[in-house]
Amino acid sequence: MLKGKIAVITGGTRGIGYATVKKFLENGAKVVLFGSRQETVDKALTSLKEENPEWEVSGAWPNLGDADAVAQEIEKVKEKYGRIDILINNAGISDSTPIDNYTSEQFAKIMQLNVNAIMNGIIPTVKIMKEQGGGVILNTSSMVSICGQTSGIGYPTSKSAVNGLTWSLARELGPSNIRVNAVAPGITRTDMVAALPEQMIQPLINAIPIRRIGEAEDIANAFLFLASDMASYVTGEILSVDGAMRT
């Protein structure tokens, strides 16, 4: 579905990001994954190469909060491949701190990585995509961007901002043949969720109409669809992948 496409995926060393990198490679894309540290990037690359030595995948670890550092890495991808067809802004942090314990610094940190850092990747990539005649930008939102959560106000606020960014960029960049969408995962079996005891997991499952927790591959499949030509007329959408758990 993505044969010959060049993709950059942030937060690609584990969880949803890693599953998406693997899914894209399986579908013929060439992928550059961004991680937070060299050791985590190297570990992810080693794992992927062990699975299939023929996959064309490389990595980098720019500080996503540093616009110049991100722009430099984006330019390196363009210099290597001549184009960037797909950008997935997946890196982010969550939070569940009650408002009584919140600090302005904590709020700013979440907004920096979940919103500002996305723009640091989008701005240089849009220039490349306009020059080449189009592309796809995909963002990771969240179920809580739609329904909120009971604590940790910064996280749903940041993901609501991602939705607004997605809708607005889709309208602005449509004439340039650049599609912009987001995926809003529900509760997904990442390392953090997998570590929860059974007595905490089961009530979560009971609250999901489809009666199971999402898998990282479920989210990767959504990204695959939106990145592919099958979604050539889909832009400005926030695709919920949450088993209908909206409350």
Does residue 203 belong to any structural domain of this protein? no
- Tally of domains within the chain: 1
How does 170-187 read in b/e, with b if 16+ C-beta sit within 10 Å? beebeeeebbbbbbbbbb
Q: What is the CATH number of the domain that holds 84?
A: 3.40.50.720
> What does pTM read for this prediction?
0.94
Closest to 32 (Cα-Cα) out of 67, 66, 72? 72
Does residue 1 belong to any structural domain of this protein? no
Does residue 201 belong to any structural domain of this protein? no
Q: How many CA atoms lie within 13 A of 79 on its CB side?
A: 6
Q: Is 59 within 8 Å of 44 (Cβ atoms)? A: yes
Does residue 194 belong to any structural domain of this protein? no
The number of residues making up the chain comes to 247
Does residue 88 belong to any structural domain of this protein? yes
pLDDT single digits (tens) 27-86: 999 999 999 999 999 999 999 999 999 999 999 999 999 999 999 999 999 999 999 999
Does residue 202 belong to any structural domain of this protein? no
Q: Which domain holds residue 120?
A: 6-188+215-241
Does residue 246 belong to any structural domain of this protein? no
Region class of 37: left (phi > 0), else alpha (psi between -120 and 50), else beta? beta
Does residue 133 belong to any structural domain of this protein? yes
pLDDT at 192: 62
pLDDT at 8: 98
Rounded distance between C-alpha atoms, residue 139 and residue 118, angstroms: 8
Listed as ranges, residues in the chain with pLDDT below 70 are 192-197, 200, 246-247
> What percent of the chain lies above the pLDDT cut of 70?
96
Which residues does the annotation mark as catalytic?
155
pLDDT at 197: 67
